[in-house]
Amino acid sequence: MSCSSSSASDDEDEGFDSYRKGGYHAVRVGDSFNGGRYIAQRKLGWGQFSTVWLAYDTRSSNYVALKIQKSAPQFAQAALHEIEILSAIAEGDPSNSKYVVQLIDHFKHAGPNGQHLCMVLEFLGDSLLRLIKYNHYKGLELNKVREVCRCILTGLDYLHREVGLIHTDLKPENILLLSTINPSKDPIRAGMTPILERPEGNPNGGATVNMIEKKLKQRARRAVARISNRRGSMGGIVAAEPKPERCLNGIDVRCKVVDFGNACWADKKFAEEIQTRQYRAPEVILQSGYSFAADMWSFACTAIELATGEMLFTPKGGQGFSEDEDHLALMMELLGKMPRKIATSGARSKDYFDRYGDLKRIRRLKFWPLDRLLVDKYKFSDADAHDFADFLSPLFSFEPEKRPTAQQCLQHPWLNVDNLAQDVVENESSIGNINVSMNNLQIKVGK
């Protein structure tokens, strides 16, 4: 969300109640920041800590993403942490080639609700989650999944090996395309003329009024949708039609890793519980210590989601067992029983496992290995399922030290199938040239 072209949520906003002391800064189109260098163009999105605006950089004549943090001390502290991390990332990547978002500038801005720390980031496109939704949760073709994976792994390799950072919250929402899915949302491709001053007739309360109007319209849309769904379920007028296939051919799927608000240095961790639930590694659940390999587990979950359109693990608490225990059970159904030394090694192991390494409250597991899951549930061909599972299965090792690094993943044959195909073409071409040369030689000898 930190620099996306689209908001954090399709049908909600941040709520105007949060525009108060210690909260968000109210921005109007045409407002200027940092001595007039940045001019607000339109709102891109929001998060718990900040709002994000498309802004025009009058010094570089580029469009940028302006992230304005809430002003309360705890939010300012979080912003300082993110600025420290983003500065280190930018310093080691002057060519901006590592598929990680670039920090351009940062400064303080005084407003009626307090002093806000602001970050200026490069403008990027939609998140991978938005791309998955755009594709109706059907999964991307494997060549596009490969291209996305190469970008993410290049970013992770840089973060892990060169900067020493663990992202700790890798997921489709935190990976943004380099450009927007809809060209009209991109200010350059849409030929947008930058707004350089506040439009006439935009009163001080304009931002709040617009927000109230938007909220009322969204509530009306949701009410209509609920009525439609109710009619459909009652066998009434409305029947759900299957959504048409989307064509993704014109969409650039190159992407960058973003949102470093929760990132930490490998040698200076801030929290035991990291990662969004569905992408959380087993060592994090068990609290047995984590490092770069936790990001690799999240990457593997993300890759599966891109290819299938569905999250791999969606645990739920039940009668007599917790969400954590269900999560561990789902992992074992896919990967086999967790080694006893891993199952019993964490600070929270006794909450879930007995001394033999068996789950205490979930006894019956239905094993469904990854390659068979891809074939049986998602209708992959046997060959595609085998090759994709060969790439991902090592990343789902319960033993973090056995998971390949991002650098090692980048060398895997599945990621380099295009190169292999090119080698085959070149080899066939070389063989053809050799045959032609041999024929010519034979003709000359015959003479």
Residues in the chain: 447
Nearest to 259 by CA among 72, 78, 380, 59: 78
Q: Which 8-state DSSP code applies to residue 15? A: -
Please give the DSSP secondary-structure letter assigned to residue 396: G
Query: CB under 8 Å to 126, separation ≥6 — which residues?
Result: 4, 5, 6, 134, 176, 177, 180, 181, 185
CB 357 within 8 A of CB 343: yes
Nearest Cα residue to 406 out of 199, 34, 154: 154
Among 169, 295, 326, 387, the active-site one is 169
Strand 32-33 and strand 264-265: the pairing is unpaired
Tokens 């030290």 found at: 401
Cβ contact 47:41 at 8 Å: no
Tokens 């003709």 sit on residue? 443
Output the six-digit token pair for 434. 């050799």
Q: Are 293 and 281 in contact (CB under 8 A)?
A: yes
DSSP 171: S
Residue type, 116: H
CB 307 within 8 A of CB 139: yes
> Distance (Å, rounded) from C-alpha 331 to C-alpha 47?
30
Q: Is 192 exposed, middle or buried (0-12, 13-18, 19+ CB in 10 A)?
A: middle
In 34-86, at which residue ranges do the beta strands (DSSP E only) sit? 38-46, 50-57, 62-69
- Catalytic residue check, 13: no
Query: Which residues lie closer than 8 Å to 86 by C-beta, 6 or more apart?
Result: 101, 103, 119, 121, 260
Contact 70, 116 (CB under 8 A): yes
- The token pair that represents 373 in the structure block: 């899951």
**Phi, psi at 39, each rounded to 5°:** -115, 125
Residues catalogued as catalytic: 169
